[in-house]
Amino acid sequence: MNEPHLLPSWAEDLRRRYLRGEASMFVLHGNVYDVVVHGPQTSSLVDFLTDVLLKDTRESIAVYNMATGPRFAKRAAGAGGLDDVLGETQKDKVLPALERLLVGSMRAAVILEYAESLAPAGDPTFQSDGDRSAIIMLHRWSSLPAIEKGDNIILLIAENLSYLAPKIVSNPKVAVVDVP
């Protein structure tokens, strides 16, 4: 008889905090590039999130990093918003498309890898317009009623919190989860 496999403690913490309505945006930081052990299997963090944690509860799951562009790990019929930017890598084009997905969908998840490259820390006067725009957009997502009402979730992955914009990390609507 197969026993159910418990989630890693950090994943269970994320799940509980989401179900309590604490936040719809989470920053996962720490040991994010190591493998995640779940039962007898190991996988990357993104694969664990898409194939285990979010698989049964999300209708659409989009993953984005600036090097490879956006992709769907799971896509609901009729879920649009990314078709025009698939293969695109520039954040000023992809983030608005991800917002359309989050605002126009129910039970969607967006995973942003290397979040520190999207919303870097630093003095805003020395940042590019694209960096400042991305920081503002992510900050706005954390409190958009349409995202929360749609039962949507945003997961930012950053190895080191100090490399991520303080406007995101210190936002009370953003929950920070340490991956040991």
Q: Is the pLDDT of residue 18 over 70?
A: yes
Give 75-94 pLDDT, tens digit per residue. 887 766 677 777 888 999 99
In whole angstroms, give the CA distance from residue 47 to residue 163.
Answer: 23
- pLDDT for 81 equals 60
Cβ-count burial 20-54 (b if 16+ within 10 Å, e if not): eeebbbbbbbbebeeebebeeeeeebbebbbbbbb
**Measured CA distances, 146 to 87, 101, 114, 140, 149 (Å):** 27, 11, 25, 11, 5
- Work out the average pLDDT over 95-107: 92
The distance from CA 102 to its chain's CA centroid, rounded to whole angstroms, is 11
What average pLDDT is seen over the chain? 91
What per-residue confidence (pLDDT) applies to 1? 30
